[in-house]
A and B are shown apart, each in its own frame.
Chain A
Amino acid sequence: MAKLTEQRPDPNQLLRQVQAEEQEQRGSKLKIFLGYSEGVGKSFRMLDEGRRRRERGEDVVVGAVQPKVPDEINSLLQSLEVISCKTIAGVPVMDLSSIVARHPQVCLVDGLAYDNPPGSAHATRWQDVQELLAAGISVIASVNLQFIEERRDQVEKITGKHVTATVPLSFLKAADEIELVDAPPELCMVRAAQGTKPGSVLATRQQHLSELREIALVLAADVVDHQLEAYMRSHGIEQLWGAQERILVYITPQASSSKMIESGRRNAERFHGELFVAYLDQPGITAKDQAALHSNLSLARAAGAQVVTLDGDDPVDAILEFAKARGVTQIFVGQTSDRGWRDRLFGTTVDDLVRVAQGMDVRIFPK
């Protein structure tokens, strides 16, 4: 491994380089505070950051606030300049032209998920934010998990509440920084002042909150991982590394692939990691094997795996090359049958893989 990595550029240097390039291009930055529920303290954290930046001499204005705010937030708002939203057809809409004309360094936007009424410059508030960024104004915004488009259904199943206005995940991923605001569920409940409900409802709500927390944490980890990976990939770092478990299930017509895929799915889920299912593209495969492969691949897709076709004569080389490039931490392979003296003398695919796999686990499954 050492040999491979010695030629690699220093990731820190790369990080800085890329950041500098980005900053130069746009001049403005987007930072998003993500919370798993109301009452976690997103708004407070965001406005408090605004206050501190202002104290350090940055020109900060508030471009949008939530309709109802608790006292502690009110007192924070007192210390900041606010450009109030306009209310059009009962909907609060950011006063874009006033903000752009005022042109602060930083604009705080509490609540990203709003649909603007027809006739507005943009259909949604997050698109308003894009305009501010394009105008060279940095934005610090807050959003709740339930408003992330790609997580909406999942959250709705837990809470039973339906929301209409959403923000796409890609918008979060494109942000310069995302910060997760976590807090004990009990505190959230106290803050959200739902203390009058009977115990069983409270317990249910606590269970909901904990499920939402898990989704938010994994989402934030995913965004962080995405950033790290993008930096490394764009700079030709050969073997990716990171904090996440990445599982590669290698299937063949002989192995009991469905069990391996199911195990891979469960492991990836428990580790909040990534799952790949790979097979070697072999010419002259029998119709029966072809059918088995097809059914396994659809199983893999249903399990949320990324299906990978490997090329090459040697499965071991192909597996390893892919595993290194994608930062795989665990390879699942099926036990091969001992095919006689040759295997005993020279070893099987599994033997070879075990011998050469560096820095990853190889898990061998029964036939």
Chain B
Amino acid sequence: MYLGYAAGVGKTYKMLEEALELKHQGMDVVVGYVEPHGRKDTIAKVVGLELVPRRKVQYKTATFEELDTDAILQRHPQVCIVDEFAHTNVPGSERTKRWQDVQILLDAGIDVLTTMNVQHLEGLNDQIWQITGVRVRETVPDWVVKDADEVIMTDLTPRALLNRLERGVVYAPDKARRAMENFFQESNLVALREMALLQTAHEVEVRQSTQDEVEDVLRNLKPGALALTPQAASQKERILIHVTPAPASAALIRRGRRVADYLHADCFAVYVESEEDSKRAPTPEFEALEKHLSFARNLHIETRVLQGKDAAKVLVDFARQQGVTQIFVMRTHENGWPHIFGRDLLRQIVHLARDMQVTIVAERGRSAKL
């Protein structure tokens, strides 16, 4: 995956460069989907590569073009180029997201080169919003990116990118002007770029430690080798996220997941339901909760619904029993949520969980111009 921080940094170009190099080495390479956006350097790179025609999809009154996964499966190349990993397919497509199509190709043994911008990572959604004011809707769960064999940073300085925009290389003049007034403000770009660099560093680090862990296991298989010390085994962190129907739960889940990823920790999410709750007919709150729990599962977080009167006690007892090292709870703005989601519950949790870490995540507000 070629990771970038904005349109126009050269992800597609770099990807095609590698594709040509692979072809040169004798690999069977096809283009499944490339969006050249009329950029002439990029177009020049596609020349000389075999294109698998795109699938035409009729939706309402317009025709859209999508990746033709079936055609690629049939053609079965060694390597397939699929641009814009985070893309959402037109309604009515077999799969909602392009990354799901990519998984089909990978499962069939086809290698894929793809591109994505860092702001499409689910785990960064709140931070991106905080900095740019843009709530990115097309997101990709972090684990999907973690599954990539390699993540390569496509770097370009913000000033060079802005120059490109001004020269009309990236977008048509009208769109370029609008872009520069909004998302493409230089301070945004600097922050996004730093995020992309750090994310790539993280992806590199994760792959190294996976390698180390595999080697540890192999070493343990050899006779006479040192076994993993109990201490090393017990150092593995376990993170428990306390989910409520409050809207802020989504941000809490993202944050918990992200911290778990960085600490290489296990991660699960729990809702504590009172007995009255379980008897009552479905309410909007219940639906909100269901949405949060399914969101958590999409991020590969195991979820559990527990029952009991005393939410704090049930939560902490469960955590203790599960060997949890860190509980994640949300501090919402005290804005009229029933008080059980508010401070009292939080204080009770902190009071009861004296043998583990409790992380209180304050809802991230967005400041005037950040």
Contacts and interface: CB of A to CB of B under 8 A. Distances in A.
A147 B37 CA distance: 38
A12 interface: yes
Contacts of B93: none
Given A210-B208, A361-B359, A362-B360, A244 B198 contact: yes
B186 A366 contact: no
Interface stretch (B56-64, B77-85, B188-196, B278-286): B188-196
Interface stretch (A83-91, A129-137, A178-186, A306-314): A178-186
Contact of B357 (A4, A185, A351, A363): A363
A367 B354 contact: yes
B95 to A, nearest CB: 27
A267 interface: yes
Interface in A345-362: 347, 350-351, 354-355, 357-362
From A185, A221, A244, A357, name the one whose CB has the most chain B CB atoms within 10 angstroms: A221
B157 A179 contact: yes
A181 B9 CA distance: 12
Given A207-B211, A338-B351, A364-B360, A1 B263 contact: no
Contacts of B201: 213-214, 217-218, 221, 272
Contacts of B153: 180, 182, 217
B238 to A, nearest CB: 14
Contacts of B187: 11-12, 15, 228, 231
B130 interface: yes
B204 A177 contact: no
B194 A228 contact: yes
B365 A178 contact: no
A243 interface: yes
Contact of A241 (B131, B346, B359): B131
B314 interface: no
Q: Is the interface of B mostly helix, strand, loop or mixed?
A: helix
Interface in B169-197: 185-187, 190-195, 197
B186 A15 contact: yes
Contacts of B127: 243
A182 B370 CA distance: 29
Contacts of B367: 1-2, 4-5, 239, 241
A213 B204 contact: yes
A360 B360 CA distance: 9
Given A217-B153, A272-B202, A361-B361, A177 B160 contact: yes
B155 A179 contact: yes
B362 A358 contact: yes
Contacts of B370: 5, 241
B354 A366 contact: yes
B200 interface: yes
B331 interface: yes
Contacts of A207: 208, 211
B204 A357 contact: no
From A16, A210, A211, name the one whose CB has the most chain B CB atoms within 10 angstroms: A210
Nearest to B155: A180
Contacts of B21: 187, 190
A265 to B, nearest CB: 12
B164 to A, nearest CB: 10
From B198, B264, B343, B347, name the one whose CB has the most chain A CB atoms within 10 angstroms: B198
Nearest to B197: A221
Contact of A364 (B130, B202, B358): B358
B255 interface: yes
Interface residues of B, number: 60
B234 interface: no
A218 B152 contact: no
B186 A358 contact: no
Nearest to B255: A361
A21 to B, nearest CB: 15
A8 interface: yes
Interface string A181-205: 1111101001000000000000000
Contact of B350 (A177, A350, A357): A350
A366 B357 contact: yes
B356 interface: yes
From A271, A330, A350, name the one whose CB has the most chain B CB atoms within 10 angstroms: A271
A270 B354 contact: no
A214 B350 contact: no
B360 A354 contact: yes
A271 B200 CA distance: 11
B304 interface: no
A31 interface: yes
Interface in A316-364: 330, 335, 338, 347, 350-351, 354-355, 357-364
- 9 closest cross-chain pairs (CB), A and B: A5-B367, A243-B194, A217-B201, A221-B197, A11-B187, A243-B195, A182-B153, A177-B157, A180-B155
Interface of A: 1-2, 4-6, 8, 10-12, 15-16, 31, 177-185, 187, 190, 207, 210-211, 213-214, 217-218, 220-221, 224-225, 227-228, 231, 239, 241-244, 263, 266-267, 270-272, 330, 335, 338, 347, 350-351, 354-355, 357-367
Interface of B: 18, 21, 25, 127, 130-131, 150, 152-157, 159-160, 185-187, 190-195, 197-198, 200-202, 204-205, 207-208, 211, 255, 262-264, 326, 331, 343, 346-347, 350-351, 354-362, 364-365, 367-370
11 contacts: A11-B187, A11-B369, A177-B157, A180-B155, A180-B197, A182-B152, A243-B192, A270-B264, A335-B350, A359-B130, A366-B354
